[in-house]
Amino acid sequence: MLSEKSSKRQTVAKIAAAARWGNPSPEIAVAHRDLAAERLADYITKVVSKAPPLTPEQRDRLASLLRPVGRAA
């Protein structure tokens, strides 16, 4: 199983190779989306690790921001 770091490196490499060789494909759009999600997850992890403990209500409120009403998962 790949570590998160090596997974991110592979995603970046895939995007770079496609750009270098002029190979725009649907897979590259997916790779861009995956990279954005990985970066967001890293940022959220960093911020949450520094935050004081949250109440259940605060956690629910923050979780709701990641699942807007009317948007598919």
**Residue 73 counted as domain residue:** no
pLDDT tens digits, residue range 10-56?
888 888 887 777 777 777 788 888 888 888 989 999 999 999 999 99
Q: Is residue 34 part of a domain?
A: yes
| pLDDT tier for residue 1 given thresholds of 50, 70 and 90 | very low
State the residue range of the domain holding 43: 4-66
Q: What would the 3-class secondary structure string for the chain be?
A: CCCHHHHHHHHHHHHHHHHHCCCCCHHHHHHHHHHHHHHHHHHHHHHHHHCCCCCHHHHHHHHHHHCCCCCCC
**What is this structure's pTM?**
0.62
> Within a domain: residue 71?
no
- State how many domains the chain has: 1
Residue 72, in any domain of the structure: no
